[in-house]
Structure 1
Amino acid sequence: MDIAPATARTELTFRDATGDDVPALVRLVESAYRGDASRAGWTTEADILHGRRTDADGVREVLAVPSGRILVAERDGDPVACCQLEHRGKAAYFGMFAVRPDLQGAGLGKVVIAEAERAAREGWGVREMHMTVISVRAELIAWYERRGYRRTGELTPFPYGDERFGVPQRDDLVFELLAKDL
């Protein structure tokens, strides 16, 4: 898959993450969501959550799930995006989606999510993809809706007090389940 401008053609390749990828994946996810570096892109959570988005143990936990995987998108051998996929019965769960901030807004995310949907549909035969998004992330939810995801209205409380998920800067955070028929 090629999403680079014609003047700088580099192919995007996909592969499953391994334990050797943990440090690079932590840096990628953190850069997309937290701190000043995340402000280079549009998916930052820096204004609603401080602290970390993930850590090495969190990434290793995702890698250890027998029914899951982390899909890595690389350009010239460098990870530029990733996402978690987990087989959950008739659906797949999509999470830990990160695109390098300086590459956001150029179509890379669309390509990655399409590949994740294809991989879940063909690899597991699932008919639906699920994800959770912090409900106050209106712009992000709208982006997913343009990709065919629908709001289900199913809410899950944000885990206030558990700093593994960040340090909330607001008291109205909840996760909403989004779903898409594959």
Structure 2
Amino acid sequence: MDTAPRPVGELTYRDAVAADTEAVVALVESAYRGDSSRTGWTTEADILEGQRTDPQGVLDVIEAPGSRLLMVERDGELVACCQLEHRGEAAYFGMFAVRPGAQGGGLGRRILAEAERTARAAWGVREMQMTVISVREDLIAWYERRGYRRTGKLSPFPYGDERFGIPQRDDLAFELLVKSLA
């Protein structure tokens, strides 16, 4: 796994290492939970309370075979991250977080494009897959504008497992979104 920084514009992309775990947890939590997440548009604070991830979950992604956690830095500061996982002819995209104050200016679009490029180059995959909470219509629409399509395939939200948050409604599920990278 290549851990050397690679500049792309004013952004630097690198693979996370174990020492990055706490910084990644803090970024992901700030983007999705609590009051800090409300300054960005990706907040899940109205549908889920509690944590979004924890140090062990992040470390599992960093250390898993066929998995990469991309760190995105600007001037040495962590501004975003995302998970890529090799799954045969597809790659899974997850744990995508952009610092709330940096959202809405095209940064997420650039990072998603770089993640797609990285997955194609590293693994030769033909498709990117992700799961999004099905009630997140605004987020799903954002991904659709970037070429992802809804599949209608739902998987249950892990109710009762507080590692993934404390649901504030009873209709949560994950929907599979896909995009051809061929």
Pairwise CA distance, 1:64: 1.5
3-state secondary structure, aligned to 1:40: coil
2:102 is equivalent to residue 83 of structure 1 = no
Deviation string, structure 1 residues 121-154 (Cα, Å, up to 9, x no partner): 1110000000000000000000000000000010
> TM-score under structure 1 normalisation?
0.95
Matching of residues 62-73 of structure 1 within 5 Å: 62-73=61-72
- State yes or no: 1:153 paired with 2:152: yes
Q: Deviations over 1:13-55 (max 9, x none)?
A: 1000001110100000000000000000000000000000001
Match of 2:128, as an amino acid? M
**What's the counterpart of residue 5 of structure 2?**
none
| Letter of the 2:77 counterpart | D
The letter for the 1-side match of 2:115 is A
Listed as ranges, the matches of 1:127-166 within 5 Å are 127-166=126-165
Question: For residues 24 and 153 of structure 2, what CA distance do their matches in structure 1 show?
Answer: 29
Question: Where do residues 28-177 of structure 1 align in structure 2 (5 Å cutoff)?
Answer: 28-177=27-176
Q: 1:27 maps to which residue?
A: 26
Question: Offset at 1:167?
Answer: 0.1
CA deviation string 1:98-143 (max 9, x = no partner): 0000000000000100000000011100000000000000000000
Q: How far did residue 59 of structure 1 move?
A: 0.3
Partner Cα distance (1:107, 1:81) in 2? 12
User: How far apart are residue 180 of structure 1 and its match?
Assistant: 0.2
What amino acid does structure 1 have at the position aligned with 2:154? L
Q: Normalized against structure 2, the TM-score is what?
A: 0.95
User: Which consecutive aligned stretches of 4+ in structure 1 deviate over 2 angstroms post-superposition?
Assistant: none
Partner of 1:22, secondary structure, is: helix
For 2:73, the aligned partner's letter is: E
CA–CA separation in structure 2 for the residues paired with 1:90 and 1:149: 16
The whole-number CA distance in structure 1 between the counterparts of 2:110 and 2:25 is 21
> Structure 1: 5+ residue runs without aligned partners?
3-10
The percentage of aligned residue pairs carrying the same residue is: 72
**CA RMSD of superposed structures (Å):** 0.5
